[in-house]
Structure 1
C-alpha cells in the first residue's frame, strides 16, 4: 500500500505541476529572475516533501500547489499591470558600464565585483573592458552589452587587411590592489606599474579601480571617480 500511495501522489503531483507551469507561462524558465527561481524551488519542494510524509494526502498536495500557484499568478498579474510592483518584485536593469566607464557605486549596489564583471563580459566575447561601450545587468543576472564602434563585428578579412595575432588583456589592478600573478606574466614589477599608473594622471595604485594591460597598447586605467 505504501508504494501505491507514493505512485498515486507522484502522478497527481506531476499533473498538478504540469498544469500550473502551463498556466503561469514560460517565465519560470526563459526569464528566470531570483524570485522566479525561488518560487520554482518551493513549488517542487511542496510536492517532493509530500511524497515522503504519510500524513499528507492527495488533497493536501493539490491544495498546497494550488495555493502557491495562486500566489505566483497574483504576483505575475501585479507585475504586468503595475510598473511599481514590477520593479520591486522583478528588479530593474542597471547600466554598470556607461560610455566605456564602470559605474563603481552601482557595481557595489548590485553586489557585483570586478572579477564577476569580467566573467560576464567574457561570456559576451569581450575580453577587455576597453572594448565595451555599454553593459546592462539585467534583472535575471544576465549581461547585455554594446561594443565600441571600433570593436564591431567587421573583420580584417572583410576589408582585405593583414591580420595580427590576438593577445589576451590582463587586469593588473582590481579595486586598488595589484594582481601580482598577472604582473609577473607581463614581466612588470610594482615599481614599473606605479610609474605607468602615474603617467595616466592617477596619484597611485590605491586611486585606481581598474587597470588593464594589453600588448602594444598603453595601460588602460580607470580611477574610482571616473565611474561615479
Structure 2
C-alpha cells in the first residue's frame, strides 16, 4: 500500500510540474526570472517532503499543488495586467552600458565587477568593450548586446579585405585601480602604464573607470566623467 501511495504522489507531482510549466509559458531556462525559479523550487520541495512522509496523504499533496498552481496563476495574471506589479515581481532589464557610457548606479545596484562583464561578453564571442554601444542584463541574468555598427558582422570577402587576427584584450584598470596581475602578464610595469595613459590624455589613474589594452587595437578607456551615475 505504501508503494502505491508513493507512486501516486510521484505521478501527481509530475502532473503538477507540467501544470506549472504551462503556466510559465514557453520559456528557455535562461529566460526564467527569479520568481519562476522559486515556483519550481517550492513545487519540488512540496513533492519531495510528501513522498516519504506517511502523515502527508495523497489528498494533502493534491490540495497543496492546486493551491500553489492557483497562486502562480494569480501572480502571473497580476504581472500581465499591471506594469508596476510586473516590475516588482519579475524585475526589469538593467542598462549597464548606454550609448557607450557605463551606468555606475546600475553597476553598484547589480553588484557587478568589470571582469564579470568581460566574462559575459567573451561568452558572446566579444573580446573588447570597445565594440559595445548598449549592454543590458535581463531579469533572468542573460546579457543583451547592441554593438556599434562598424563592429557588426561583415565578411572579409564582401569587402575584399584580409582581416587582422582578433586578440583578447587585457583589463589594466578597474574602477580606478590598476590590475597588477594583467600588467605583469603583459610584461609591462607601472611606469609604462602611466606614461602611455598620459599620451592618451589621462593623468590620474583614479579618474579611470575602465581601461583595456590589446596588441592590435591599443588602449580603450572610459573615465568616470564619461559615465552615468543616476
Aligned to 1:92: 92
- CA shift at 1:160, angstroms? 1.1
Aligned to 1:75: 75
Contact residue 97 and residue 134 of structure 1 kept, 8 A: yes
Structure 1 runs (4+) greater than 4 angstroms displaced? 27-30
SS of aligned partner of 1:158: helix
| CA RMSD after TM alignment | 1.8
Contact residue 5 and residue 58 of structure 2 kept, 8 A: no
Counterparts of 2:71 and 2:135, CA distance in 1: 33
Aligned to 1:137: 137
Counterparts of 2:68 and 2:145, CA distance in 1: 36
SS of aligned partner of 2:157: coil
SS of aligned partner of 1:219: strand
Counterparts of 1:29 and 1:79, CA distance in 2: 19
- CA shift at 1:83, angstroms? 0.6
Deviations 1:116-152 (Å, cap 9, x if unpaired)?
1111112222110011111111121111111112211
In the TM superposition, 1:1-228 aligns within 5 A as 1-27=1-27, 29=29, 31-228=31-228
TM-score (norm 2): 0.91
Higher relative contact order (CA 8 A, sep 6+): 2
> Is the alpha carbon distance of 1:67 and 1:104 closer, same or farther for their aligned partners in structure 2, counting shifts above 3 Å?
same
Deviations 1:13-48 (Å, cap 9, x if unpaired)?
222322343344334846300111112111111111
> Is the alpha carbon distance of 1:221 and 1:110 closer, same or farther for their aligned partners in structure 2, counting shifts above 3 Å?
same
Counterparts of 1:125 and 1:183, CA distance in 2: 23
- Give 5+ residue unaligned stretches, structure 1: none
> Is the alpha carbon distance of 1:24 and 1:168 closer, same or farther for their aligned partners in structure 2, counting shifts above 3 Å?
closer
Counterparts of 1:182 and 1:102, CA distance in 2: 22
Deviations 1:164-200 (Å, cap 9, x if unpaired)?
2221111111122222222123221011112222333
Contact residue 98 and residue 134 of structure 1 kept, 8 A: yes
TM-score (norm 1): 0.92
Size of the alignment, in residue pairs? 228
> Is the alpha carbon distance of 1:191 and 1:57 closer, same or farther for their aligned partners in structure 2, counting shifts above 3 Å?
same
- Give 5+ residue unaligned stretches, structure 2: none
